[in-house]
Amino acid sequence: MSDEWKENTRLILESARAILPGDRSLDRVRKARFDGAGAAGADLFAVLTGRGVALVDRGAAGVTVDAPETLDGARLGAVSFDTVAAEFLPCANPDAVLDSATLAHAAYLLGLSDAALDITLDYLRIREQFGRPIGSFQSLQHRATEMKIQLELTRAAVEATARRFDTGADATARKHGAARCHLRAGTLAMHVSREAIQMHGAMGITDEADIGLYVRKAMTEANLFGAASVQRRVLSDRLNDPKQEHAA
């Protein structure tokens, strides 16, 4: 494999497990999503499956790439596979890789929300209405406080889960810890985005306002690695399993 070929390789993490009837085939694999314009031009895709990493040639029969431009000006697309020939590489624990990526993305959403809240608070301090800063209005103070509380709760969850990952959490704890953090972080990102637009007014969604960039990014990123409904299903499976502890 040439260096140029390696540089174009992108790792696509897929939450759904592939059905693998043969050693060198991927059969009825669900769509794998990727983020970034670079992946749209990749020559080789590395797909995380239940049996390891499958290397799939972009030009192979059954590979379809769709990468439309998204709301935030980037590209967020999907690669579809239909009985595609692939070369498998061993991966000792693909679930652990996916859990780590899910947690990392939760941390990304947390940082996005933190920055969006800072921008909004700065705006509340300088925007005046009725002769005083709008940040002095009690109703807006309450809403800003609620955002800050949810932000810190999410930060605590992400940091605690990361520590458990580092200290050797078992597979079940990793899976549910990552799902819980991503559910919190994705919900937080959308909540802060909506509130930021409300507090900035119509200018908040314009290209001239920095907050608009964060809002559009939150809208395109919140569902990567599983929407809120997916993460809730992961957590509910644990609650419905009598063998599992009902840990928060």
Please indicate, yes or no, if residue 199 is contained in any of the structural domains: yes
Helix 228-239 to helix 171-200 angle, to the nearest 10 degrees?
140
User: Where in the chain does DSSP place strands (E)?
Assistant: 10-12, 25-26, 32-35, 44-49, 52-57, 63-66, 76-81, 84-85, 87-89, 128-129, 132-133
Q: Report d(CA 30, CA 25) in Å as an integer.
A: 14
Same domain, 76 and 119: no
Residues 111 and 226 in one domain: yes
Same domain flag for 82 and 107:
no
Residue 166 to residue 187: CA distance in whole angstroms: 25
Say what the pLDDT of residue 30 is: 45
Within its chain, how far is the Cα of 145 from the centroid?
Answer: 25
Domains in the chain: how many in total?
Answer: 2
* Span 137-155, average pLDDT: 96
Boundaries of domain holding 233: 94-239
Average pLDDT, the chain: 77
Query: Domain for residue 246, yes or no?
Result: no
CA atoms of 31 and 223, how far apart (whole Å): 14
**Token digits for 181?**
């953090």
Reported as a single tens digit per residue, the pLDDT across 98-132 is: 889 899 999 999 999 999 999 999 999 999 889 99
Q: Are residues 176 and 118 in the same domain?
A: yes
Read off the pLDDT band of 202 (50, 70, 90).
confident
Task: Determine the pLDDT at residue 221.
Answer: 86
Residue 52: give its domain's CATH number.
2.40.110.10
**Residue 225 in domain:** yes
Residue 9 or residue 137, greater confidence: 137
CB 179 within 8 A of CB 104: no
Do 131 and 64 fall into the same domain?
A: no
The per-residue pLDDT for range 8-35, each reduced to its tens digit, is 333 443 333 333 333 444 544 445 555 4
Phi/psi class of residue 83: alpha, beta or left (left: φ > 0; alpha: ψ in -120 to 50)?
left
Type and span of the H or E element at 204? none
Q: What are phi and psi of 187, to 5 degrees?
A: -65, -40
Does residue 150 share a domain with residue 220?
yes
Task: Report d(CA 214, CA 188) in Å as an integer.
Answer: 13
Same domain (yes/no): 155, 182: yes
Which of 89, 110, 125 is at the close of a domain?
89
Confidence of residue 72 (pLDDT cuts 50, 70, 90): low
